[in-house]
């Protein structure tokens, strides 16, 4: 039986996320982030959603990583949440903006100590000759920052995806799935429609 969808795609997302959190074994906040190289080659990876509100969807990373470099060149991105346990997925298209320094600082401070040191030690997306190189860099950071007072690296921050389009996909029998689209118009109003499966 088809459900009624909320007027706001953010309210609909919150409802689906709440259901997924009850049934997904690991990381219901895992999402695929799509970027593209300057010549249009796509690139995908899984990251963790750390915050969502009426402005958008927030994740954190090393800005010098491959995804950071690609987002610096092309701020358009897509997100995909897939919750196998409830037979649903949500696709989101939009552009990114950087979170504020205060937001990045607050989230960074909430991370475990080793994760904060790892943000300094890892040269994310660069070639790694041997695992021992990373371990040695981590040991150097542990010696440099022996207390809990570990500043946030300047190259580590967050992105907020500002959605322009959502697609809510619900599995249905015989592959006659339900697909509900939310599109934001020029005035910022969300309109809702259906598309064929």
Catalytic residues: 175
Structure tokens of 29? Answer: 């906040």
DSSP string spanning the chain?
Answer: -PPPPPSSHHHHHHHHHHHHHHH-SS-TTEEEEEEE-TT--EEEEEEE--EE-SS-EEEEEETTSHHHHHHHH--EEEEEEEEGGGTEEEEEEEEEEEPPHHHHHHHHHHS-HHHHHHHHH--TTS--S-HHHHHHHHHHHHHH--SS--PPPTTEEEEEEEEEEEEEEE--GGG--EEEEEEE-TTS-EEEEEE--
Residues contacting residue 172 through CB under 8 Å, at least 6 positions apart:
178, 197
Closest by CA to 52, choosing from 94, 85, 22, is: 94
């Amino acid at each position: 039986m088809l459900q009624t969808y909320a007027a706001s795609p953010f309210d609909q997302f919150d409802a689906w996320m709440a259901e997924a959190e009850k049934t997904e074994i690991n990381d219901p906040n895992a999402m695929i982030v799509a970027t593209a190289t300057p010549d249009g080659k796509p690139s995908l990876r899984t990251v963790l959603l750390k915050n969502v509100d009426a402005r958008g969807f927030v994740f954190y990373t090393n800005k010098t990583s491959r995804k950071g470099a690609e987002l610096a060149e092309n701020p358009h991105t897509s997100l995909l949440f897939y919750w196998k346990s409830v037979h649903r997925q949500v696709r989101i298209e939009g552009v990114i903006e950087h979170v504020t320094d205060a937001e990045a600082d607050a989230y960074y401070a909430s991370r475990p100590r080793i994760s904060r040191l790892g943000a300094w030690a890892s040269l994310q997306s660069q070639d790694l000759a041997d695992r021992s190189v990373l371990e040695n860099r981590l040991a150097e950071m542990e010696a440099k920052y022996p207390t809990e007072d570990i500043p946030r690296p300047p190259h580590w921050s967050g992105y907020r995806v500002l959605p322009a389009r959502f697609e809510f996909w619900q599995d249905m029998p015989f592959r006659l799935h339900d697909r509900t689209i939310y599109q934001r118009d020029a005035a910022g109003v969300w309109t809702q429609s259906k598309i064929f499966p």
